[in-house]
Every structure is written in structure tokens, then in C-alpha cells.
Amino acid sequence: MAKSDKLIAEFYELKVEQLMDKRVWDLPIIEENDSILHVLNILGARNHIWVVKSKKTNELVGVITEHDVLSILAPKDFPSYVFGMPDIRSIQHGTANTAKDIMCHKIITCSPDEKIVDALMKMIKNRLRRLPVVKDNKIMGELTLNQLIRKYYAATQYHPIV
């Protein structure tokens, strides 16, 4: 087996817990009842927000991305006839007031005990760049594509592939 094959095989077998960002205090986390203004304030510096029921429990209930905010900022002009169900969440019409109003409820997660290869497959399948790391419905950290790239690159520096 070539060095590069061995290195990637070892990388895939690592546990999410070994590579995830465990600094929960530094993650973009808000409560579901926080205001849209709070959401916009955080998204001015970050590209996603994890939404929890309350910060006391850290029970993950949703995620908000820049794309979600784009849809509520866009002006809504509904014709008198509408085919299908329109997205009526809007700042303009006052139908988006809290994080809960705009968050995505379907969250793809991983656990700290999962192998990196399994987390990567979830990211690929769902076209995601980050996964919340969840144990007992509580957010424990996050795993991002950026972290995976940096960790793999660092591993190649200790064990050169050449």
C-alpha cells in the first residue's frame, strides 16, 4: 500500500470527536425565539447559525444559513393566483420575526463516535460544508470541510506522501 493510500485510510478511520471543533462557546448558536435582528447581526460575520431550544439545554432544533436569510429579505409580490404553496416568510410582510420562523428544521447531524469517512459521506450526499456534532440531541461542536482539509494537510506534513 502506498503512503498516500495508507494516510487517507487512517484519516477516514478517525473519529469525528478527534477532529471536530469542541469550542461550543465559540459556535454561532442562538435560541429559537431570538429576533430576526439578532439573526442578521450574527450572519453579518458568520455564514450559518445553529438554533437551540434554549442555551441551558443546547438541544439543537434548527439551522439558519445565508440562503435562508436571502429568501426572507427578497421582496415578496404574490400574484392573485399562486401555483403551489408560496414561501410567505418575509421581513417585508412581517411574517418572519424569530429564528424559529426561518430556520430549517431538517438537520443532518453526526455523532462524536462516527468515523470521518461516514461524516464525509453525509456531507457529500447532502451537499453540506458543515455538520453539527450532536449527542443526546445536544450540540457538542461542529465538523467543517475547512477543518477536515486543514487536518488532512497537517497529517501530510508529518507523514509526507512524496
> Does 161 have pLDDT greater than 90?
no
What was the pLDDT predicted at 156? 74
How does pLDDT run across 108-141, given as a tens digit for each residue? 999 999 999 999 999 999 999 999 999 999 999 9
Q: Tell me how far apart the alpha carbons of residues 131 and 140 are, in angstroms, rounded to a whole number.
A: 11
Cell of 2: 502506498
Q: Which residue has the cell 477536515?
A: 148
Cell numbers placing 108: 443532518
Query: Which residues neighbour 122 within 8 Å (Cβ) at sequence distance 6 or greater?
Result: 108, 110, 128, 131
Amino acid at site 111: S
pLDDT interval class at 151 (50, 70, 90): confident
Q: Enter the pTM of the model.
A: 0.80
pLDDT at 5: 74
Q: Are 116 and 16 in contact (CB under 8 A)?
A: yes
- Mean local confidence (pLDDT), 3-24: 86
Q: Is 8 helix (H, G, I), strand (E, B) or coil?
A: helix
What whole-number distance in Å separates Cα of residue 52 and Cα of residue 60? 4
> Which CATH code for domain 3-158?
3.10.580.10
